[in-house]
């Protein structure tokens, strides 16, 4: 097994790494920042960046050129010349024709519902490594965490804006002012999203109640926030009362591998204050609020029973500079290992990283995707 120092300081491999511009609707992040490009070129690798790939994240072409990356005019030239392509979102149909045998693709893939993409990756024998299935030593998902941190913090910022009268809210300032009580924020789910939302809401001076099913998690949060956070056990009775009092409700529930349970019912929403705001961050898993339905950045909100709903499925895209930096802080050490060692050795050296492998040499290597698509699954141990 390779040691940390050997993966990070010695380049046993020289690789051409391609960074295409994202083409998925409203995606404004980029797979590698100028800082990452610098580290790769310093290590002797070549980095090809598609023209304007970083622009929407506030990384202009000149910043990449200044650290030795090459700016390439057409996406086809990035994909066609790179040994490894590092992206953010799963490839969309117009990118499938770039796939070829031996290409390493490191990005979010979310293959379970995407049969056509899975077919193409298998047919072209692409080594597809998915951010969302990589595990760390604790068994958590290190490449999902940063986006939950961003969405959790953003949920309070967005909720505070929608509480303003101009945006349909009841005109409440979350922090209150001397002589006027602060707004009430109710956060459902005390994981990464919920904890980051709590930090922001408390920072604004709001009165914050956080609901979770895990008593141990509530104990931890009570300690972390030194009693400033009101913790509440999750049951229908408590949630009905907490949401009825709230100016802002934030949904951050997750049951791994399952659709989010609808724990705030339509009846509860009808008892909320007129002009209150719901931000259902868990909408990407179906939402934990019964009246929530997915929305986009171009049309982010709607009203039900006088309650404003904001249910954008890709909230981090609203703050691409922060999101790109947060994502690449987590992905870059893996990019460096892939470049220095080559994909096979890098995956062999780290069992958690190997869980990121979804397609390899025409075989489907991630069980949940194989089950979901009723396809043959090949364990990694047979291939690596
Ligand atoms: N909309 C977006 O842009 C966006 C971005 C990032 C993450 N998310 C989503 O946000 C959701 C939360 O992510 P996370 O990283 O915080 O997950 P997490 O696993 O860290 O936290 C989930 C929490 O929900 C709690 N929970 C489970 N069942 C519950 C119940 N019945 N009542 C109360 N609490 C319950 C768990 O105990 C846990 O503390 C996920 O669906 C994630 O995909 C969405």
Strands 84-86 and 16-19: parallel
> What pLDDT shows up at residue 89?
93
Q: In angstroms, how far is the first alpha carbon of the chain from the final one?
A: 13
To test the ligand 1 pocket, which listed residue (158, 254, 319) has its Cβ within 8 A of the most ligand atoms? 254
> What pLDDT shows up at residue 257?
65
Across-strand partners of 211? 188, 232
> Tens digits of per-residue pLDDT, 223-233?
999 989 999 99
Mean pLDDT of the region 126-143: 95
> What pLDDT shows up at residue 375?
93
CA of 104 to the centre of ligand 1 (A): 31
Residue 9 pLDDT more than 60? no
Query: What's the chain's average pLDDT?
Result: 94
Q: Is the alpha carbon torsion for 117, 118, 121, 127 positive or negative? A: positive
9-13, 87-91, 336-340 — which is least confidently predicted? 9-13
Across-strand partners of 70? 48
CA of 234 to the centre of ligand 1 (A): 13
Give which of 300, 243, 238 is closest to 276, Cα–Cα.
Answer: 243
Mean pLDDT of the region 196-219: 98
Mean pLDDT of the region 140-144: 94
206, with CB counted inside 10 A (0-12, 13-18, 19+), is: buried
Mean pLDDT of the region 69-91: 97
H-type helices in the chain, by residue range?
4-9, 34-42, 61-65, 75-81, 115-123, 145-162, 192-204, 215-224, 236-245, 266-270, 320-341, 343-348, 351-354, 367-372
Residue 330 pLDDT more than 70? yes
Q: How far apart, in whole angstroms, are the C-alpha atoms of residue 40 and residue 242? A: 50
Q: What percent of the chain has pLDDT over 90?
A: 88
| Neighbour tally for 244: CB within 10 Å | 16
Q: How confident is the model at residue 284 (pLDDT cuts 50, 70, 90)?
A: confident
Query: Which residue minimizes the CA distance to atom 20 of ligand 1?
Result: 191
CA of 189 to the centre of ligand 1 (A): 6
Across-strand partners of 230? 209
Active site residues: 110, 284
Q: How confident is the model at residue 259 (pLDDT cuts 50, 70, 90)?
A: confident
> What pLDDT shows up at residue 260?
85
Residue 113 pLDDT more than 60? yes
Take residue 112 and report the two structure tokens written for it: 């379970």
What lies within 8 Å, CB to CB, of 233 at 6+ separation is 211, 212, 213, 215, 218
């Amino acid at each position: 097994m390779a040691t940390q120092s050997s993966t990070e300081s010695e380049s046993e491999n020289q690789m051409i790494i391609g960074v295409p511009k994202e083409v998925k609707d409203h995606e404004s992040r980029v797979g590698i920042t100028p800082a990452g490009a610098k580290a790769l070129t310093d290590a002797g690798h070549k980095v090809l960046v598609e023209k304007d790939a970083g622009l929407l994240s506030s990384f202009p072409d000149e910043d990449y050129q200044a650290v030795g990356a090459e700016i390439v005019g057409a996406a086809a030239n990035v994909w066609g010349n790179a040994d490894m392509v590092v992206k953010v979102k799963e490839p969309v149909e117009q990118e499938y024709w770039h796939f070829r045998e031996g290409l390493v693709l490191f990005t979010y893939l979310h293959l379970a519902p995407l049969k056509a993409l899975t077919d193409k990756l298998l047919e072209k024998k692409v080594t597809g490594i998915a951010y969302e299935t990589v595990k760390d030593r604790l068994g958590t998902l290190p490449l999902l965490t940063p986006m939950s941190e961003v969405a959790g913090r953003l949920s309070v910022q967005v909720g505070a804006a929608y509480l303003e009268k101009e945006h349909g809210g009841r005109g409440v300032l979350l922090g209150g002012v001397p002589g006027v009580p602060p707004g009430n924020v109710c956060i459902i789910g005390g994981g990464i999203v919920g904890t980051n939302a709590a930090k922001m809401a408390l920072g604004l001076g709001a009165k914050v109640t956080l609901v979770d099913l895990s008593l141990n998690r509530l104990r931890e949060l009570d300690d972390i926030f030194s009693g400033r956070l009101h913790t509440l056990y999750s049951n229908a009775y408590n949630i009905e009362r907490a949401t009825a009092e709230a100016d802002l409700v934030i949904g951050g529930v997750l049951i791994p591998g399952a659709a989010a349970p609808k724990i705030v019912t339509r009846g509860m929403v009808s008892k909320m204050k007129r002009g209150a705001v719901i931000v259902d961050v868990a909408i990407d898993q179906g939402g934990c609020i019964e009246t929530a339905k997915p929305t986009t950045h171009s049309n982010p909100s709607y009203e039900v029973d006088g309650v404003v709903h904001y249910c954008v499925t890709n909230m981090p895209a609203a703050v691409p500079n922060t999101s790109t930096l947060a994502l690449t802080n987590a992905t870059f050490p893996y990019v460096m290992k892939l470049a220095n060692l080559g994909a096979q050795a890098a995956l062999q050296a780290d069992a958690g990283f190997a869980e990121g492998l979804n397609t390899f040499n025409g075989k489907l290597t991630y069980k949940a995707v194989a089950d979901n698509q009723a396809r043959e699954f090949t364990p990694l141990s047979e291939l690596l």
